[in-house]
Homo-oligomer: A and B are copies of this chain.
Amino acid sequence: MIVQDTTTLQSTDATMSGMPADSVGLVTPQKAHFDTPLPLACGRTLPSYDLVYETYGELNDDRSNAVLICHALSGHHHAAGYHHKDDRKPGWWDAHIGPGKSIDTNRFFVVSLNNLGGCHGSTGPCSIDPETGREWGPDFPMMTVTDWVHSQAKLADLLGIERFAAVVGGSLGGMQVMQWSLAYPERIANAVVIAATPKLSAQNIAFNEVARQAIRSDPEFHGGRYHEHGALPRRGLKLARMVGHITYLSEDAMGYKFGRDLREDNFHFGYDVEFQVESYLRYQGDTFSTSFDANTYLLMTKVLDYFDPAAVHGGDLATALEPACCPFLVISFSSDWRFPPSRSEELVDALMQAGKSVSYARIESPHGHDAFLLPEPRYQAVFSAFMERVARDLCLEASH
């Protein structure tokens, strides 16, 4: 049984509330509850679950204009617009979702959810296990990209979306897009895979493992039962995030941003902050450590590690991609060293080998992996042109 929450307030007109004219405006998250158990790749079953999501734009009469946004490691459902008129920052992908933007909400109905295992309202380690009445914590079942895609399909069912005009995501989000094209080829009309990889490298796994060890070795972790101990593994989460940030920025971007600049004029020959980059990392780590759940972070890193659709085909990615039948847009960024262009090109090559339709753009950018979140003229041009073609093929009219 599927029950939809009653909070269904949609986005308001942005200009009326003093927000940028190309914003989707004020948005309110919604919550969908699912009572049908979800079997998982790990062999366990999630008995019931909630998914928190936002929507931007309007679903058209034949329900053909829906675009699904899949989020990355520390992402969530709030991809565009503002929750309160006093919010200083919009959603995490506001640069690309809105009226007239790459994902044009005058044409498309955008669905953006928080994935299972998340810590922003969807069922995850901070939720109550209905069978025990206790917080799931470390006993929350391990997730995979495949599980997420199945849960997203249930959300699509709820919203009456038979087939997405496009499924779109960057980084870990791009992995979900790949999996959509394999698990539900008839339900995805177009795939946009940005700054992703068909599988993590040993080095990617190594960085994830450092993050996990940092969290799990924090004495405040308490085997994942930190809430029950009135504790939080802040130190571990901070370290995990600091390591993460180094991999999100390119070496050059860090150089441009901070160089070897000192925070004060001289060395003080001690362990307080001396260089600007130290200050930046500590701040990023501190902020994250009080706003993100440690069990969720652990789980998200494992979801990344596990993704490897070619594995069951002896490593042959082209064979793995055979079920896919939609056109792909693949985008990479020149200075991304987390998932460099070569990793996107593995996907492009395999798609071509499998005889699929694929457009590929390698965008020059100094911003490293983070570039997928930012506006960049050529990135926007390529992305917009593809989505324009998606709209044209579906004969979608602008709704304003």
Contact = CB atoms under 8 A, between A and B. Distances in A.
A355 interface: no
B203 A254 contact: yes
Contacts of A359: none
B260 A308 contact: yes
Contacts of A42: 267, 269
B239 A239 contact: yes
Interface in A170-220: 199-203, 205-207, 209-210, 212-214, 216-219
Contacts of A43: 269
Interface string A204-238: 01110110111011110000000000000001001
A142 interface: yes
A277 interface: yes
B255 A203 contact: yes
A283 to B, nearest CB: 12
A205 B271 contact: no
Contacts of A238: 213, 217
Contacts of A239: 210, 213-214, 217, 239
A160 B201 CA distance: 52
Contacts of A245: 206
A137 to B, nearest CB: 13
Nearest to A275: B205
Interface residues of A, number: 54
A68 to B, nearest CB: 26
A211 B298 CA distance: 20
Interface in A64-101: none
Contacts of A298: 271
Interface in A267-314: 267, 269-271, 274-275, 277-278, 281-282, 285, 298, 302, 305-306, 308, 311
Interface string A237-273: 0110011011001010011011110000001011100
Interface string A330-364: 00000000000000000000000000000000000
Contact of A277 (B141, B209, B243, B259): B209
A302 B275 CA distance: 11
A54 to B, nearest CB: 30
A39 to B, nearest CB: 14
A199 B260 contact: yes
Interface string A20-55: 000000000000000000000111000000000000
Contacts of A267: 42, 306
Contacts of A277: 202, 205-206, 209
A239 B218 CA distance: 11
A205 B260 contact: yes
Given A42-B269, A207-B246, A217 B202 contact: no
Contacts of A214: 214, 239
A248 to B, nearest CB: 11
Given A267-B306, A269-B142, A242 B203 contact: no
Contacts of A141: 269
A257 B209 contact: no
A267 B203 CA distance: 18
A213 B239 CA distance: 7
A278 B217 contact: no
A259 B260 CA distance: 34
A255 B270 CA distance: 37
Nearest to A40: B269
9 contacts: A201-B254, A202-B275, A203-B251, A203-B255, A206-B246, A206-B281, A210-B243, A210-B281, A218-B235
Given A42-B267, A206-B254, A271-B298, 5 more contacts: A43-B269, A201-B254, A202-B255, A202-B259, A269-B302
